[in-house]
Amino acid sequence: MEEYVIILDYMPNGLPSNRSFKKEPLAYGLGINEFKLFELIPKNGITMTIGMKTYIGKDKEKREHIHSIKRRVGYNELTQVAKGELPFTIIKIIMLREKDFIKFFNDARPITTRFHMLELLPGLGKKTMWSIIEEREKKPFEDFKDLSTRVKSIHHPEKLVAKRIETELTEEDVKYKIFIHSSHTSHK
């Protein structure tokens, strides 16, 4: 269960396509732990900003901004604004959780006898994969800076991870999901 989201879009008057008389405020958010996408109903009288972190957990008393979670959504259901914010928000979450993602570089294992989890990162081939494995055997990576210093072919590890997370969120037929823990729903 997600406890916090980063707001991708906030519409104080709801979706423009909603033609009903009573327009209800609406927000879209990306979960910080499992990268789940949500359609959220903000509390009355609350102003939200894109990029803000807010609590959506079970303890309704702790919810400052969100009245309720309307539903989980798929990428195709997001507004254009939310889709545009997604890459920046993913990077923001990765940097908030850097230790979790450096653990991935330290612990990634083969998926099959010929294919390694590290190779799922866009642009990372066998040569770089072996460089990572050799360096982490000497000493585990401490952070992204340590990784990019010791493995010269990786300049921005957070961008590699972000691109993979974006792929797992946006493409429906991803065979191996390494960062998105549960499938998202898609209502077309």
Co-location of 11 and 72 in the same domain: yes
Co-location of 124 and 61 in the same domain: no
Domain that holds residue 121: 97-170
Co-location of 109 and 162 in the same domain: yes
In a domain, 188, yes or no: no
Co-location of 120 and 153 in the same domain: yes
In a domain, 186, yes or no: no
Whole-structure pTM value: 0.89
Strand partners, 39: 28, 71
Nearest to 156 by CA among 182, 187, 185, 121: 121
Give how many domains the chain has, as a whole number. Answer: 2
45 conformational bin, left if phi > 0, alpha if psi -120 to 50, beta if neither: left
Q: Please report, in tens digits, the pLDDT of each residue of the chain (188 residues total).
A: 899 999 999 998 887 765 665 678 999 999 999 999 999 999 988 989 999 999 999 998 999 999 999 999 999 999 999 999 999 999 999 999 999 999 999 999 999 888 999 999 998 999 999 999 999 999 999 999 999 999 999 999 999 999 999 999 999 888 888 898 654 443 33
Co-location of 49 and 20 in the same domain: yes
In a domain, 90, yes or no: no
In a domain, 118, yes or no: yes
* Residue-level pLDDT at 14: 81
Distance CA 121, CA 163 (A): 8
Co-location of 9 and 71 in the same domain: yes
Co-location of 141 and 101 in the same domain: yes
88 conformational bin, left if phi > 0, alpha if psi -120 to 50, beta if neither: alpha
In a domain, 177, yes or no: no
- The sign of the dihedral angle between the CA atoms of 152, 158, 161, 163 is negative
Co-location of 71 and 136 in the same domain: no
Co-location of 64 and 101 in the same domain: no
In a domain, 137, yes or no: yes
Is 63:56 a contact under the CB 8 Å cutoff? yes
Domain of residue 125, CATH code: 1.10.150.280
Domain of residue 49, CATH code: 2.40.50.140
